[in-house]
Each structure stands twice: as structure tokens, then as C-alpha cells.
Amino acid sequence: MKYTVITGASSGIGYATALAFAERGKNLILAARREDKLEEVKDEVLKINKDLAVVLKPVDLSIAENVHAFYDSLKGFELETWINNAGFGNFASIGEQNLTKIESMLHLNIGALTILSSLFVRDYEHVEGAQIINVSSVGGYIMISDFVTYSATKFYVNAFTEGLAQELKLRGSKMQAKVLAPAVTKTEFELRSLERDEFQYEGHFPKFHTSKEMAGFMLALFDSDKTVGIVDESTYDFYLKDPIFPFRGFENK
């Protein structure tokens, strides 16, 4: 029995992705901070397919010591796909941003993703069909005013994942690494970024995607041999692409 792991699965893109992979008949390991929300996702997954195995892992991955413990707790499961979706943003100028929140964002967006990706690669690099998909942002290819620190974390995710994908190919590995780069998507993202209880996408953004649409793009990326799935900010069309950043490979001697 093989499992797909999804972090940040309690809402937004993670939630919709769990349902999309359930429709593909995939057993799931779902991780997020809010156990009650994970239970809701599980209920919806089992409505789609009552025969699926759904394992819930309530965990706050922005706390560094939780990350290794979370991965170690999965040692008894055979994994096939790992989706690092957990992350959050911050809307403030650099000189005015809340540094406590920024530290948590750095731990989650960069630290947890790097550690979990590295551990999964160590264990599954040579397993046929293994995939790792890191959810990033088109904001990781451009800089956005008052969103600079968040954009920088996503530059890291994009560069790290593209580099991992290139490195795996260079090594002749069986695993594929891919990055999904959404533009504005209707989720809880803005609520946490702006620290509000309510936010209306209509009127604030001329275009945006739903989480369900992004989950569809996730599946398209999953099915493809491309490394990058990216939304064009001007048209909001979705494209599958080869790596965007330059890469210089050196053969191991």
C-alpha cells in the first residue's frame, strides 16, 4: 500500500489536492496544524472513496524540532509522492514586518521544505515513479512590493526545486522533482498574510484561481515530465515548462 503525503492539507490548495488525489484512488497522509480541519478533509476524502486509507498527522512544521519527528513517524509507510504545500506569507515592508512571524515563515517555507525534501530524496531517489512536488509561487520568479520577504522564500523554493530536479536527472535518478508556482488563488493565504478575519478576492484582484483549479494544475504537473507548473500573471493561463533558472552541472568523478 503506497501513500501520497500532503503538508498544509487542512485548507486551500492542500485540501483541494487531497480530494483530487483521492479521485485518483491514492491513499493519503495528510499533515497540518489543525486536527479538526484534517478530520473534515478525511470525511470528504472518504465520501469520494470509502476504501482509501487516510492517515492524519497534526503537526506544526514551522517549529524546527517537529520536522524530523514528523518524517520519522512515517517510516512504517511506503510513500510514492510527497507534496510540500505547507507555507504562509506576510504583507509588510521589510522595515515594518513582524519578525516573530517572519522567523516562523522562514522555518516553514524554507527550513521544513528543505529538510523534508532532503529526507524523502534520501529514501526514495531510486524508487520508480517517486515524485516530490513543492508548492511555491509565481512570486518566486518576480519581486512584489511589501511582499519581498515572502517572495524571497519562494525564490528559494523555486531555485531549490529546479536545482534538485536537474541534479536528479544528472544522477540518473528515478525520482522526479517538480515545482508548482500559482498566482493569486482563493484560499486562506491572504487572511494569514494580512492578519484579517475576512478578505474579499472579488474587487481586490481582477483575476484569481480557485483551489480546485490549482489542484487540477497540480495533477497536470504530476502527470507530465516537465519540472515547472506556472501560472502566467497577466493571462492566468497555466503552463508546464522546463526549468527556468540556469543550471551548471558537474559530473561526479
pLDDT, one tens digit per residue, over 41-81 is 999 999 999 999 999 999 999 999 999 999 999 999 999 99
Q: What is the pLDDT of residue 194?
A: 52
Q: What is the pLDDT of residue 253?
A: 45
Per-residue 3-state assignment (H helix, E strand, C coil) for the chain: CEEEEEECCCCHHHHHHHHHHHHCCCEEEEEECCHHHHHHHHHHHHHHCCCCCEEEEECCCCCHHHHHHHHHCCCCCEEEEEEECCCCCCCCCHHHCCHHHHHHHHHHHHHHHHHHHHHHHHHHCCCCCCEEEEECCHHHCCCCCCCHHHHHHHHHHHHHHHHHHHHHHHCCCCCEEEEEECCCEECCHHHHHHCCCCCCCECCECCCEEHHHHHHHHHHHHHCCCCEEEECCCCCCEEEECCCCCCCCCCCC
Q: What is the pLDDT of residue 144?
A: 87
Q: What is the pLDDT of residue 208?
A: 73
Q: Give tens-digit pLDDT for 215-226.
A: 999 999 999 999
For the entire predicted model, the pTM comes to 0.92
Which domains, and CATH codes, for the chain? 2-241 (3.40.50.720)
